Structure 1
Amino acid sequence: MMFVYDAELASHSEKALQQLIDHLAYACNEFGLTTSLKKTNAMDLDISNVLCISVGDHTLDVVSNFTYLRPIISNNLALDAELNTRIGKAAAVMARLGRRALSYNMLTINTKMRIHQGFVLRILLYCSETWTLYTRLECRLNAFYLRTLRKILGVK
Structure 2
Amino acid sequence: MRNTNNRRRGIHWKFMSTLEDLDCADDLALISSKHSDMQEKTRRLHDVTEYTGLKINVDKTKSMRINGKKNDAIRLNDKEVEEVETFLYLGATMDKTGGTEADIGRRLGLARTAFASLTKVWKSAQYSTKTKLKIFNTNVLSVLLYCSELWRTTEKDDEKLDTFHRKCLRRILKIHWPEKISNQQLYDRTRSIPLSRTIKGR
The CA distance in 2 between the partners of 1:77 and 1:119, in whole Å, is 29
Identity over aligned residues, as a percent? 26
Task: Give the structure 2 partner of residue 92 of structure 1.
Answer: 113
Higher share of residues assigned strand: 2
TM-score normalized by structure 1? 0.88
Matching of residue 32 in structure 1 with residue 28 in structure 2:
no
User: Which consecutive unaligned segments of at least 5 residues does structure 1 have?
Assistant: none
| Residue deviations 1:26-62 (CA, integer Å, cap 9, x gap) | 1111022221111111111216652531113212121
Structure 1 residue ranges (4+ consecutive) displaced by more than 4 angstroms after TM superposition: none
Equivalent residue in structure 2 for 1:148, among 150, 160, 168: 168
The CA distance in 1 between the partners of 2:54 and 2:135, in whole Å, is 43
Equivalent residue in structure 1 for 2:93, among 72, 81, 100: 72
The CA distance in 2 between the partners of 1:51 and 1:110, in whole Å, is 57
SS of 1:102's equivalent in the other structure is helix
Equivalent residue in structure 2 for 1:107, among 103, 122, 127: 127
The CA distance in 2 between the partners of 1:87 and 1:152, in whole Å, is 18
The CA distance in 2 between the partners of 1:138 and 1:48, in whole Å, is 35
Q: Is the 8 A contact 1:41 1:62 kept in 2?
A: yes
Q: Could you say what the CA RMSD is over the residues aligned between the two structures, in angstroms?
A: 1.7
The CA distance in 2 between the partners of 1:135 and 1:48, in whole Å, is 33
Q: Is the 8 A contact 1:44 1:51 kept in 2?
A: no
- The aligned length equals 152
**Structure with bigger gyration radius:** 2
